[in-house]
Amino acid sequence: MTNFINSLSFATDMDSNDPLAGFRDRFYFPQMNGKDVVYFTGNSLGLQPKTTQDLVLKELEDWATWGVEGHFHARNPWFSYQDILTEQIASILGAKPEEVVSMNSLTTNLHLLMVSFYRPTKSRYKILCEYDLFPSDLYALQSQASFHGFNPDDALIALEAREGEYALRTDDILQAIEQNKDSLCTLMLGAVNYYTGQFFDIDRITKAAHAAGATVGYNLAHAAGNVPLKLHDWDVDFACFCSYKYLNASPGGVSGIFVHEKFAHDKTIPRFAGWWGNDPETRFKMPRTFVPAVGARSWQLSNAPVLSMAALKASLDIFEEAGMQRLHDKSTRLTGFLEAIINEINEKKLTSAKLKPIKIITPQNPAERGCQLSLVMEEKGKQVYQKLMEAGIIIDWREPDVIRVAPVPLYNTFTDVYRFGKLLQELV
């Protein structure tokens, strides 16, 4: 455990001893009054790597040079462009390369995976999810249940935290699985909840849901590139992620999926098929019968959106160089520093004017969270948020009273966190 001291000299010391400090210079920062903003919203849209333009430009050049022949003659042939990403994605997700592929957008992928892995019967049709899940996920799950003829209010088991609590207790999740073991068809959770920042115990939850006879999937929108994952070893059945949050791959950037190796050769899984999911050996022979490629690739529908994938590649190269383990080590310290500062502000508030504390609703245990802390601001929340934004500290606001702060280890510093704390203290 690091002992954190809420001072500028402590923060600058931490920065000068940070082996990843140089990565900050690889990104463009929005400017305010001629200075870089303090950017704490990498959980919404990651910053642009300076190399993104080069990689996208390279594909534009090859398109200009080759036209259609770029499918085979571009420097990275477009025919197989998706394949140059799988190893790097796999290492971020704790997967094997054949278990992942990048394609489509996130909600599209969630639907495609539910088509294959949510196969309800009259008696086993329920979907277990979080109560405070992201709206797009909620609509996707509701419409999947309706699509199969079920009433979503009945089919969805939406788990709420206990009275007065925000995070879900693993034991409560396991109990809900046990209670619904005869009707549970699929468990679908955000691996890291977008609102509370809670990182679930995927290993235990997955085992329990499998024992109950359910399929198990996760939405990794807030987990990919944020927390260390071992999807293969945890025996997760399926997952989808987006690339524009922690993975810095451009607004609306191409998403991706994980499907466990155990399904790699299973041609009987029902799926909505497209030509790009066909075995690449015969894809251009245009067979009349779909022959699924091996692994996650068989879920692809369309030819690769190369410009978007080039942007993803730029970021994945940076992740490979930095390494998920080193990023996670720094992330733990950076978020720990933020937490310590907020706790100190609370102590001062309480002893001085008996004001309500800023409530950190993200779990305290570093193993149960990523970089984001979610703060319930019972007093002056919106005002504090606006003042921070005006001062060039970019954070986000969720109605009615939550500020989410995400110090990202790739490009945030301990000094960023110190500056945030100093201003927050003044404002409350």
Least Å distance, CB 264 to ligand PLP, is 26
Residue closer to ligand PLP by CB (options 112, 388) is: 112
**Part in contact with ligand PLP (CB under 6 A); list of ranges 55-63, 134-142, 321-329, 380-388:** 134-142
CA distances from 225 to 100, 208, 319 (A): 15, 26, 8
Q: Map residues 47-86 to x or -, x wherever contact with ligand PLP holds by CB under 6 A.
A: ----------------------------------------
Q: Which residues 259-318 are close enough to bind ligand PLP by CB under 6 A?
A: none
404 interacts with ligand PLP by CB under 6 A = no
Q: Which residues pair with 192 in a beta bridge?
A: 199
Q: With beta carbons less than 8 A apart as the criterion, state whether 218 and 192 touch.
A: no
Terminal CA-CA length for the chain: 28
Interface with ligand PLP, residue 221, by CB under 6 A: yes
Alpha-carbon gap, residue 422 to 226, rounded angstroms? 25
Cβ–Cβ under 8 Å, residues 278 and 293: yes
Nearer to ligand PLP, 140 or 341 (CB): 140
In one letter, which amino acid is 359?
K
Beta bridge partners of 376: 359, 402
Q: Which residue has the tokens 């007065």?
A: 164
Q: Cα dist. 48→28, 130, 193, 256, 315 in Å? A: 6, 31, 24, 19, 8
Nearer to ligand PLP, 106 or 406 (CB): 106
Q: Among 52, 88, 91, 105, which residue sits at the site for ligand PLP (rule: CB under 6 A)?
A: 105
Instruction: Name the pairing type of β-strands 373-376 and 402-405.
Output: antiparallel
Least Å distance, CB 249 to ligand PLP, is 11
With respect to ligand PLP, which residue has the nearer C-beta, 85 or 106?
106
Q: Applying CB under 6 A, which of residues 196, 219, 250, 362 lies at the interface with ligand PLP? A: 219
DSSP alpha helix (H) spans, 293-323: 306-322
Q: Are 394 and 40 in contact (CB under 8 A)?
A: yes
Kind of pairing, strands 100-102 and 126-130? Answer: unpaired
Q: Is 107 in the site for ligand PLP (CB under 6 A)?
A: yes
By three-state DSSP, how is residue 108 classified? helix
The CA distance from 422 to 419, in Å, is 5
Largest CA distance in the chain: 76
Stretch that binds ligand PLP, among 131-139, 263-271, 281-289, 318-326 (CB under 6 A): 131-139
Backbone angles phi, psi at 140, to 5 degrees: -60, -50
Q: Is 45 in the site for ligand PLP (CB under 6 A)?
A: no
**Binding test (CB under 6 A) with ligand PLP, winner from 120, 190, 381, 421:** 190
Of the listed pieces 10-18, 104-112, 148-156, 279-287, which binds ligand PLP according to CB under 6 A?
104-112
Considering the complex, state which of residue 76 and residue 372 has its C-beta at the smaller distance from ligand PLP: 372
Contact flag: residue 194 with ligand PLP (CB under 6 A): yes
Q: How far apart are CA 283 and CA 80, in angstroms?
A: 12
**Binding of ligand PLP by 370 (CB under 6 A):** no
Q: Is 142 in the site for ligand PLP (CB under 6 A)?
A: no
Closer Cβ to ligand PLP, 135 or 400, answer by number? 135
Does residue 206 interact with ligand PLP by CB under 6 A? Answer: no
Q: Compute the Cα dihedral for 335, 336, 340, 341 and give only its sign.
A: negative
* 136, 170, 346, 425: residue in contact with ligand PLP (rule CB under 6 A): 136
Q: Which of 134, 195, 411, 418 binds ligand PLP (CB under 6 A)?
A: 134
Q: Does 415 bind ligand PLP (CB under 6 A)?
A: no
Q: Is 86 in a helix, a strand, or coil?
A: helix
Nearest approach in angstroms of CB 36 to ligand PLP is 25
Residues 230-249 that bind ligand PLP (CB under 6 A): 242
Among 62, 99, 132, 137, binds ligand PLP (CB under 6 A): 137
The Cα 170–Cα 34 span in angstroms is: 47
Sites of contact with ligand PLP (CB under 6 A): 105-107, 134, 136-137, 190, 194, 219, 221-222, 242
